[in-house]
Every structure is written in structure tokens, then in C-alpha cells.
């Protein structure tokens, strides 16, 4: 019975969430005539950056008749429906931690439906290459292995930064930028905090990102302004191509580039993002990543920002909290035991 209800709800979502498309959609506009992108938006969905091998047979777009069943059977949907079998007013039995999650389902909010992009239910954000996978080069794979080893604590038989000091911990853990590339570039979704606020003037576009209270301020200009700086989200400039906002970014901070959750980026990288008001309820987000060091070829992707009635509440990150103290203290204890 429960499975039947889940499938019915998924079917209702599929037909309601896909926006009504029109060949001549006219977006709301600002006083200066530009498309108005302002408001609160969410990119929460079950669709991730790369295509899950379980969905490889479908290509980029799920067959519409299979969407309800695949949605209801998705592990995250099952998990949310059951809350990992936690009982009200009873302590967790530890099984959630044993599965490597650390949270029970109450604390996560990744979305319970696959992404609908231009009326299609998508299997991945990556649209090119056609297999939905990021095309790492051999050099890129080597660098990624070295970066993981560098920050996990062991490199060439020497203990390095992983637990040697706070600098080795994840950037999100240190509250420097949000975990999981929620700010990009390119932008992706994560297990919770997938809300965005767009604020727009004729001179600037500001992306206020729920995760870690990140803010990307993008000037509408043709000149890069940070030739001597490498900020966390890179040096971004924007321009309008008809009704599409085009954002070009280069020069990420080295720690951000090499530890980028989704797409590691070298000093030669350039990321092009495009924001187009696709309907009253959706902004189409497109991106292209060009980096001859990490990737065999440029790769591209799409996702949707869906209108939300929810505001962004404060994200209070706890830099230097007890967790970090415990991690480093544990590492010191292990060093003494060795």
C-alpha cells in the first residue's frame, strides 16, 4: 500500500513539476528591461552531477513511464520515508553511523524527485560527454589522487596536512566555503541547504547561497578585476547575451581549485555559466568547464533552479567547534601510540 502511494505521489510530482513550456516565453523584466532573475530558488533533486551507473541504460533522459517507480525505489526516497527506521523518543541504535552516514534522515533534505530540466526528467547534470561522466585526463586523475592523499594525511609515507593541523581539514568543515560546491563554479546540489537567493542590479548580480552563507558577487563588466588575487569562487564577470546572463570565471583560490568537490580546476581553467529564465517557476542553469590539465576535453551540464517560497535562514557554521578539537586531539593520540 505504501509503495502504491509513493508511486502515485511521484507521478503527480512529475506531471506538475515539469513547467509549462512556450516557444515564446516572455520573462518578467527589471526596470532596465533585463530578465528578472531575483527571488528564492532551489536546486534540490535526486539527480547528481554524474550519471549513476544504474541509470546508464537510459541516457540523459528517463523514460517517463519509469519515473514513478525509479523515484519510489531511490535509496534516498526510501530513507526519507522511513527515517532510517528511527522510533519517536528512542535513541538511535547506531546503525546509521555504521552505514557511514553520520545523520539519520531527519537531518537531510536532498530532494525526493529527479531533476526536471526543460520538461525532461534527467539522469545527470552532465550533458556532455554523452555518458554523463566527467572526462578526467590521465594527468587529472593523477592530480586528484595526489590531492586526496595530501589532505587525507599520508603522502609518500609522510604524514602531511590531513590531521596535522586545522589547515588540512575540509574547507566546508573550516567554514571557509560551503561543502559540496554549492557555490560553484560549477554549481551543484548536496544533501541539504540547497536554497539560493538572487539579487540583481544593472551593475551586479549577487548569488546568496544557503550553504555556509556564501555570497558570489558578479559585476556586469568585460574586464577581470582580480589579476593579483585568487578568491575562493574565482574572478567572475557577467554579461547579457540576449535574455541569458553569462558568467565567466577563472582564477580560483588554489585550495579551492584542487579540493573542489565536483570539478578540480587548475590555474588554466575557465568555467562558463549561463542563467536563463525558462518559465515563471524555473531558471535554466547551463555550464561549461574548460581545463586542459584536469580534463580530456571541455564538458558541459544543465540543471534547474526551481522557484521557492522558503526564505534562507541563518547558516551558523561552527569554526573551531568541539568536533575539530576532537579530530586533532585524536590524531595527536595516534601519533603518540605510533
Beta carbons within 8 Å of 134's beta carbon, 6+ residues apart: 49, 50, 126, 262, 263, 295, 299
Sign of CA dihedral 133, 137, 140, 144: positive
Indicate whether 140 and 171 sit together in one domain: yes
Q: What pLDDT is stored for residue 8 in this prediction?
A: 42
Total domains in the chain come to 2
Last residue of a domain, one of 78, 94, 126: 126
Does 256 lie in the same domain as 171? yes
150 and 258 belong to one structural domain: yes
Does residue 16 sit within a domain? Answer: yes
Clarify whether residues 107 and 225 are in a common domain: no
Within-domain flag for 320: no
Whether residues 241 and 115 share a domain: the answer is: no
Question: Does the residue 13 lie in any domain?
Answer: yes
pLDDT of residue 91: 60
**Of the residues 126, 151, 167, which one is the last residue of a structural domain?**
126
Residues 275 and 294 placed together within one structural domain of the fold = yes
- Please give the C-alpha separations between residue 143 and each of 117, 288, 294, in angstroms, as whole numbers: 33, 21, 8
Confidence class for position 213, pLDDT limits 50, 70, 90: confident
pLDDT score, position 87 = 62
Nearest CA-CA partner of 205 in 170, 249, 168: 249
Q: Are residues 253 and 213 in the same domain?
A: yes
Instruction: List Cβ<8 Å contacts ≥24 apart for 2-10.
Output: 2/81, 3/72, 6/71, 6/72, 6/77, 6/81, 7/68, 7/69, 7/71, 7/72, 8/68, 10/67, 10/68, 10/69, 10/71, 10/72, 10/113
- What is the percent of the chain with per-residue pLDDT over 70, rounded to a whole number? 82
In this structure, are 92 and 236 located in the same domain? no
Residue 11 has pLDDT above 60, yes or no: no
Give the pLDDT confidence of 100-129 residue by residue, as tens digits: 555 677 778 888 999 999 999 999 999 999
> Residue 54 is part of which domain span?
2-27+47-126
pLDDT score of 23: 62
Q: What percent of the chain has pLDDT over 90?
A: 50
| Cα separation, 205 vs 233, whole angstroms | 14
Q: Is 162 inside any structural domain?
A: yes
CA nearest neighbour of 182 among 194, 199, 165, 198: 194
Let me know whether 56 and 122 are in one domain: yes
Q: Are residues 241 and 157 part of one domain?
A: yes
Dihedral in degrees, nearest 10, Cα atoms 270, 119, 46, 213: 50
The domain boundary, picked from 90, 110, 126, lies at: 126
The two beta strands, 270-279 and 244-250, are antiparallel
Strands 299-307 and 126-128: antiparallel
Q: What is the per-residue pLDDT for 249?
A: 94
State yes or no: pLDDT of 77 exceeds 80: yes
Same domain, 149 and 277: yes
Indicate if 153 and 272 belong to the same structural domain: yes
Amino acid at each position: 500500500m505504501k509503495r502504491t502511494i509513493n508511486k502515485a505521489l511521484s507521478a503527480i510530482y512529475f506531471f506538475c513539476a515539469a513547467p509549462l513550456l512556450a516557444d515564446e516565453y516572455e520573462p518578467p523584466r527589471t526596470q532596465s528591461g533585463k530578465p528578472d532573475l531575483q527571488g528564492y530558488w532551489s536546486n534540490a533533486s535526486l539527480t547528481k552531477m554524474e550519471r549513476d551507473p544504474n541509470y546508464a541504460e537510459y541516457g540523459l533522459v528517463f523514460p517517463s513511464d519509469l519515473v514513478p517507480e525509479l523515484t519510489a525505489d531511490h535509496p534516498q526516497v526510501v530513507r526519507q520515508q522511513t527515517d532510517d527506521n528511527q522510533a519517536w523518543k528512542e535513541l538511535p541504535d547506531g546503525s546509521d553511523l555504521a552505514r557511514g552516514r553520520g545523520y539519520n534522515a531527519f537531518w537531510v533534505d536532498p530532494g525526493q524527485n529527479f531533476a526536471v530540466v526543460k520538461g525532461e526528467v534527467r539522469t545527470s547534470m552532465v550533458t556532455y560527454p554523452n555518458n554523463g561522466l566527467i572526462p578526467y585526463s590521465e594527468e587529472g586523475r593523477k592530480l586528484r589522487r595526489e590531492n586526496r592523499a595530501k589532505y587525507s594525511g599520508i603522502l609518500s609515507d609522510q604524514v602531511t596536512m590531513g590531521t596535522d593541523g586545522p589547515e588540512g581539514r575540509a574547507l566546508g568543515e573550516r567554514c571557509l566555503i560551503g561543502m559540496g560546491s554549492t557555490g560553484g563554479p560549477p554549481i551543484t546540489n548536496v544533501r541539504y541547504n540547497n536554497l539560493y537567493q538572487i539579487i540583481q542590479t544593472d551593475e551586479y548580480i549577487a548569488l546568496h547561497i544557503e550553504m555556509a552563507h556564501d555570497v558570489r558577487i558578479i559585476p556586469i563588466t568585460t574586464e577581470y578585476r582580480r589579476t593579483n588575487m585568487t578568491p575562493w569562487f574565482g574572478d567572475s564577470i557577467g554579461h547579457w547575451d540576449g535574455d541569458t546572463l553569462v558568467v565567466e570565471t577563472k582564477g580560483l583560490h588554489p585550495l579551492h581549485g584542487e579540493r573542489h568537490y565536483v570539478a578540480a580546476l587548475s590555474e588554466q581553467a575557465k568555467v562558463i555559466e549561463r542563467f536563463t529564465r525558462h518559465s515563471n517557476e524555473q531558471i535554466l542553469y547551463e555550464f561549461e568547464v574548460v581545463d586542459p590539465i584536469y580534463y580530456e576535453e571541455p564538458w558541459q551540464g544543465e540543471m534547474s533552479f526551481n522557484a521557492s517560497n522558503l526564505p534562507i535562514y541563518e547558516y551558523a557554521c561552527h569554526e573551531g567547534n568541539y568536533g575539530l578539537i576532537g579530530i586533532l586531539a585524536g590524531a595527536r593520540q595516534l601519533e603518540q601510540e605510533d
